[in-house]
Amino acid sequence: MAKWRLATATLRRHLRSPSPTISSVFRDPTGALSAANQRRRYNTPEDPRGKWLTLPPFSPTVDAAAIGKELSSDRDSAKGSTDGSTTAIRWILRCRPDLPRNLVQKLFRLRQVRREMSLSCDGDELQRSQLKRVSAKEPLNLGDRIYLPISVDNDAPPQPAKKESFRCSEEERKFVCSLVLYKDPAIIVLNKPHGLAVQGGTGIKTSIDELAATCLTFDKSESPRLVHRLDRDCSGLLVLGRTQTAATVLHSLFREKTSGASAYGVKKNIKSLKRKYLALVIGFPRRQRGQISAPLRKVVVDDGKSDRITVNDNGELVSTQHAITEYRVIESSPHGYTWLELRPLTGRKHQLRVHCAEVLGTPILGDYKYGWQAHKAREPFVSSGNSNTPTKPSLSLFGLDLDGGDVSSKQPHLHLHSKQIDLPNISQLLEKLQVSSDSDISDLGGLKFDAPLPAHMQLSFNLLKSRVETCDIAKPELVSLTDSNC
C-alpha cells in the first residue's frame, strides 16, 4: 500500500511539470535551463549592473590623422571628418587602454562581448534593444553600448607600478617655464636649449618629455606630447601637443609634410607647415642657393654599437629615405665660415647635417659626427679687439653649458638652430570641429613662431662681425640675429 502511494505521488509531480526538450536535457541533466543558459539564450543580462561592465555610449570622434592629412593637401577646400569606422574592439581598447589586446581578442573569440544598440523611435526618443553578441570588427553606431564580463578586471594583468615623476626644484621649474614661447589650449611651443635631449632613453638623465610632464601641464590633466624631434645638440623651436587629438593632428601634419615632399617633390606645395633653420658651416658652398635632393640611408658602425646616416649615391638597392633640403647663403665670413638658411622639405634623421657635410661639403660647426675631418683641419679662431667670449663657461641647470661653445672655443657647440616654424592654428581648428565635424577648415588661420638664437650662436655672430649692409638677414622671413645689426 505504501509503495502504491509513493508511485502515485511521483506520477502526479511529473504530470504537473512540463516535459523537458531533448536539447535542454543535453544542456542540463535535471531538464531545466540554468540562469546562465537563459541569459545566453535570450541575450539579456539578469542584472546588467552586477554581471556586466558597461562601457560609455559610443560617440564618433574626430579623425585627427585624417584632418592632418587634409591640412597638408593642396586642395582649395578642406573639411573636418569624424572616425566613422570605429569597430567594437577599437572602442573597447579606447575606453579601456589598461586591458591587453590579446585579452580583448580572447573575449571576442569566446563570444563574451555584448552590444546594446540604440534605436530611434518616435522622433527624438531612443529605444534600447536587447543585448546581442558582437564581433570584433563590427562597426558601431551612435549611442551603442558595449558590455564586457565583470570578470575581465580579474583576468587583466596587474598594472605596473607607476614610474616616479621627475622632480624639479623651484629654480629648475622656472627655467623650464622660461623656455615657453607660446601656449594655447592645443599646443605649447618651446625654445629648446642646446644639449637637452627631446626624448628619454638609455644614458639620458633629463629630457624634454619628462620635464614637460612635470612642469608644463598647467591646467590640463594630460601631459604635453612630442609631435616631432630635434637633435640633442640642436636648439630652437619645438612644438608639443597639449591633448591627444592636437598631438595626433600635428604628428600627421609633420608626417604628411615629409611623405608629400618625397612623393611629389617641389610640385606639391604644402603651405600649412614651414620650417627654417639657421646654421654656421665651415667653408663656402659653391652656389649661393639651391635645392638638395639626396636619398639617405643608415650605416651601422663600431661593430653595431652605433650608426650614422649617409647619402646613398651609389645606386645600390638598399633601404633609403628620400630627403629634400633648400638652402640659401646669408653671409660668408673671411674667416672661413658661412651662415646658411636651411629649409627642410622632409624630416629625416640628421638630414640637414648630412646634406651640409656630404653634399655641400661644408659641415656644420660643432658637428663632430659628420664633420670630424673639417674640425681637425680648422684653424683656431682668434677674435680681434674686444670680444664678449666668457672667460670661464658656467654650468647651468641640468648640467647644460649655455655660455661656452662659440666659434672661438676649442670645441664649439653645434651651430644649428630651428629658427622659424609656420603652423595652422590647431586650437582654432579644434574649436571649429567641436561645433560641427563637417566644418570648412580651408580658411583656417596660421601661426608663425620665431626663436631667438642661443648664446653660443649669437656670440659667434658677433665675433665674426657678420653685419649685412643690405639687412638681408633681417627680412621678415628670418628675423635679425641681433637688434643692433641693421
How far apart, in whole angstroms, are the C-alpha atoms of residue 383 and residue 406?
Answer: 11
In 3D space, the residue among 26, 62, 38, 43 whose CA is nearest the CA of residue 429 turns out to be 62
Round to the nearest angstrom and report the end-to-end CA distance of the chain: 126
Beta strands in 193-312 (DSSP E): 225-226, 235-241, 274-282, 289-293, 296-301, 306-311
User: What's the one-letter identity of residue 65?
Assistant: A
Catalytic hit among 231, 233, 367, 406: 231
Active site residue 231: yes
Q: How many Å separate Cα 57 from the centre of its chain? A: 27
424 within 8 A of 217, measured Cβ to Cβ: no
Q: Which residue has the cell 577648415?
A: 441
DSSP string for 20-39: PPHHHHHH-TTSS--HHHHH
- How far is it, in rounded angstroms, from Cα 466 to Cα 470? 12
User: Helix, strand, coil proportions of the chain in percent (round to 5)?
Assistant: 30, 20, 50
- How far, rounded to the nearest angstrom, does the alpha carbon of residue 196 sit from its chain's CA centroid? 19
Half-sphere exposure of 313 (CA within 13 A, CB side): 9
Determine the residue type at 365.
L
CA angle 241, 227, 140 (to 5 degrees): 75
Enumerate the active-site residues.
231
